[in-house]
């Protein structure tokens, strides 16, 4: 009887037991030692040039000099590829910027430009007195009616290069030339290069803080540079030119635009200039402008024909001494 009961209990237990595939074994994870991380990068003994291009092999050094490189587009050099004709002269701007300085800024030197026919170049340099962050804006009107704008910005101090230099070169929409060509006939181009504000019954005003602007106009056979310091009346005389050039330069690169938080609005400066003139004031030639640096040698004077030395008077032989009489005594 006990055997029958045991068999029945076994069969009951077998019938209610879950299949083996449904049973979840109890697994306790045992932590293992992590493998060392795989280092992906150039070998420790790689040179900076090799590390920069890793994992590619370094190029043949001769390719640096012998391989062809992409030429800049026409917006980077609108008047490029010209040959000087017989009797043609290059621009000679008096803006104090050397050709080597232009090349540091990534611009073709203004002294190398060949401007012909109705072409012109307008260039504006901005130099704040309280910052080394400078900008250059160059507008070129070509003879075929195309207009180009070039902008540069950077830190012009304390390094052998223009720090954080950025720039852009762009071609403007067709039909833009007439607006800028009208700027050539403004009376400002007949003003002195450097000026000082003179108000009635007031001492000369000297501006010490603000932004100075150097504006250069280049046309065939002519180059005019105007320096306008931070005084609003001085800047206001050139407001039309500044708004045209700098307003065209804005909108091409946010890094350039952020420098001019107020945009290219010179309405206040224009109002200051008009108020000065209406009140009987004027802009006179700055007597202290462009003083030579200490130790600078003066410019040589033009050579003149030397005055021929006076001819010496002919020497007259002294008269002969008198002779004694014949047979005369001593």
- Reported as a single tens digit per residue, the pLDDT across 203-254 is 666 666 789 999 999 999 899 999 998 889 999 999 999 999 999 999 999 9
CA distance 110 to 138: 10
Domain presence at residue 67: no
What's the pLDDT at 27? Answer: 67
- pLDDT category, 16, cuts 50, 70, 90? low
Provide Rg for the chain, Cα atoms.
42
pLDDT at 38 over 90: no
Higher pLDDT: 38 or 123? It is 123
Domain presence at residue 183: yes
pLDDT at 57 over 90: no
What's the pLDDT at 126? Answer: 94
CA distance 85 to 236: 39
Question: Residue 239: what are its φ and ψ, rounded to 5°?
Answer: -60, -40
Whole-number percent of the chain with pLDDT over 70: 76
Lowest mean pLDDT among 20-24, 99-103, 134-138, 148-152: 20-24
CA distance 168 to 162: 15
Residue 116 CB contacts under 8 Å (≥ 6 apart), including other chains: 143, 220
Output b/e per residue, 203-240; b: 16+ Cβ within 10 A: eebebeeebbbbbbbbbeeebbbbbbbbbbbbbbbbbe
- Check: CB of residue 248 under 8 Å from CB of residue 283: no
* DSSP-H helix ranges across 17-132: 48-53, 63-66, 99-104
Which range has the top average pLDDT, 79-83, 134-138, 275-279? 134-138
- Reported as a single tens digit per residue, the pLDDT across 78-104 is 998 888 888 888 888 888 899 999 999
What's the pLDDT at 13? Answer: 63
Domain presence at residue 195: yes
CA distance 177 to 141: 6
Q: Tokens 């070169």, residue?
A: 169
Residue 245 CB burial class (10 angstroms; 0-12, 13-18, ≥19): buried
Higher pLDDT: 237 or 299? It is 237
Element containing residue 165 per DSSP (H, E):
strand 163-171
What's the pLDDT at 116? Answer: 93
Whole-number percent of the chain with pLDDT over 90: 45
Higher pLDDT: 42 or 107? It is 107
Domain presence at residue 78: no
Q: Which of 75, 74, 127, 62 is nearest to 101 (CA)?
A: 127
What's the pLDDT at 32? Answer: 75
Domain presence at residue 308: no
* DSSP-H helix ranges across 55-210: 63-66, 99-104, 177-181
Domain presence at residue 322: no
Write the DSSP string, 119-138: -EEEEEEEEETT--EEEEEE
pLDDT at 295 over 50: no
- pLDDT category, 256, cuts 50, 70, 90? very high
Domain presence at residue 14: no
What's the pLDDT at 330? Answer: 42
How many domains are there within the chain?
Answer: 1
Q: Which domain range does residue 267 map to?
A: 89-285
pLDDT at 47 over 90: no
pLDDT at 291 over 80: no
pLDDT at 23 over 70: no
Residue 96 CB contacts under 8 Å (≥ 6 apart), including other chains: 214
Over residues 9-38, the mean pLDDT reads 64
Domain presence at residue 54: no
What's the pLDDT at 301? Answer: 47
């Amino acid at each position: 009887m006990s055997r029958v009961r045991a068999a029945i209990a076994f069969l009951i237990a077998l019938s209610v037991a879950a299949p083996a595939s449904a049973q979840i074994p109890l697994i306790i994870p045992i932590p293992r030692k992590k493998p060392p991380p795989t280092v992906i990068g150039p070998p420790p003994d790689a040179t900076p040039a090799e590390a920069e291009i890793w994992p590619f092999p370094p190029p043949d050094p001769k390719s640096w000099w012998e391989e062809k490189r992409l030429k800049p587009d026409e917006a980077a050099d609108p008047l490029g590829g010209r040959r000087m004709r017989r009797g043609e002269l290059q621009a000679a701007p008096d803006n104090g910027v050397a050709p080597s300085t232009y090349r540091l800024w990534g611009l073709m030197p203004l002294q190398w430009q060949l401007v012909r026919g109705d072409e012109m170049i307008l260039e504006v340099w901005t130099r704040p007195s309280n910052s080394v962050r400078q900008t250059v804006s160059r507008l070129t009107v070509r003879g075929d009616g195309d207009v180009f704008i070039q902008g540069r910005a950077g830190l012009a101090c304390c390094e052998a290069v223009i720090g954080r230099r950025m720039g852009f070169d762009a071609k403007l929409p067709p039909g833009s030339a007439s607006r800028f060509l009208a700027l050539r006939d403004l009376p400002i181009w007949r003003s002195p290069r450097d000026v000082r504000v003179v108000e009635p019954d007031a001492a000369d005003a000297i501006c010490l803080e603000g932004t100075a602007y150097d504006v250069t106009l280049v046309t065939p056979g002519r180059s005019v540079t105007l320096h306008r310091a931070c005084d609003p009346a001085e800047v206001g005389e050139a407001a039309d030119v500044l708004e045209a050039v700098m307003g065209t330069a804005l909108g091409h690169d946010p890094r350039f635009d952020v420098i001019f938080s107020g945009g290219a609005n010179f309405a206040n400066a224009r109002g200051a200039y008009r108020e000065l003139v209406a009140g009987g004031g004027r802009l006179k030639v700055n007597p202290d402008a462009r003083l030579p640096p200490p130790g600078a040698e003066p410019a040589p004077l033009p050579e003149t024909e030397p005055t021929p030395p006076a001819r010496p008077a002919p020497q007259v032989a002294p008269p002969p001494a008198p002779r004694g009489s014949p047979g005369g005594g001593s």
